[in-house]
Amino acid sequence: MGGGENLFRPNPSEPVTFHLWKLKKPEPVRISDIGRGGPKFKVEDPPTELFFSNFRVTAVGTVSAPQWEVAVSALEVDDGVIKADPSDLFMFQAPESGYTHSITFSFGPKGTDAIKGEPGAPVRFYVRSKRGRWYSAEECAIYSPEPDGTVTLKIRFWTNPNGCRNLEHDAAHPLPEPSLKF
Give the domain range for residue 139.
Answer: 30-160
For residue 181, the model assigns a pLDDT of 44
What is the number of structural domains in the chain?
Answer: 1
Task: Report yes or no on 113 lying in a domain.
Answer: yes
For residue 59, the model assigns a pLDDT of 57
Task: Report yes or no on 79 lying in a domain.
Answer: yes
- How would you classify residue 26: left for phi > 0, otherwise alpha for psi between -120 and 50, otherwise beta? beta
Task: Report yes or no on 65 lying in a domain.
Answer: yes
Task: Report yes or no on 1 lying in a domain.
Answer: no
Task: Report yes or no on 22 lying in a domain.
Answer: no
Decide: 54 and 75 in contact? Cβ < 8 Å. yes
For residue 1, the model assigns a pLDDT of 39
**How do residues 71-96 score in pLDDT, each as one tens digit?**
788 888 888 999 999 889 899 999 99
Q: Are strands 68-74 and 80-83 parallel, antiparallel or unpaired?
A: unpaired
For residue 100, the model assigns a pLDDT of 92
Q: Best-predicted range by mean pLDDT among 34-48, 113-127, 158-172?
A: 158-172
Across all residues in the chain, what is the average pLDDT? 76
Closest CA to 74 of 48, 47, 53, 46: 53
Task: Report yes or no on 123 lying in a domain.
Answer: yes
Task: Report yes or no on 178 lying in a domain.
Answer: no
**How far does the chain reach from its first CA to its final CA, in angstroms?**
20
